[in-house]
Structure 1
Amino acid sequence: MYPENWDAFRVFETMRTQWRTGMCGATGLDYTAIPAVIDLLNIPADRRQLFGDLRVMEFEALDVMAEQRIQESS
């Protein structure tokens, strides 16, 4: 992992129980929890950049979860 991604990974990993879900599974992270997680982890990062990095991880995770649902249903 690149050092510049470490803070975003720490927040993403800590947010693992903060997924919003609907009838078809996860729909995205609960963004209201992100500032508290950043503060609790004492991350001094640029929050705008960190949020963008988290969204990239979120979209990738959603793609993986969607693929898993498709494989499980076939």
Structure 2
Amino acid sequence: MTFPSMAQTKLNGAGATFPYPIYSKWFNEYHNLHSDVEINYQSIGSGGGIAQVTAGTVDFGASDGPMKDEQIAAF
């Protein structure tokens, strides 16, 4: 007998280093409650997060400051 594998949802994010410690705890706790969801966050800095979001290489980003008008326009 075979069982269908559980759907796996993977979210990738990048950005600010300041909130990383709390994000890490939140994402781990969320995964403990929802084992089918995996959240990966790379703390590469706000500018890097904005660049990754703008490039479409991550699902979400975090920044300590707002995006500039030209960054929003590029998004």
TM over 0.5: no
Pairwise TM-score range, normalised by the shorter structure: under 0.3
Decide which structure has the larger Cα Rg and report it: 2
TM-score w.r.t. length of structure 2: 0.26
TM-score, normalised to structure 1, is 0.27
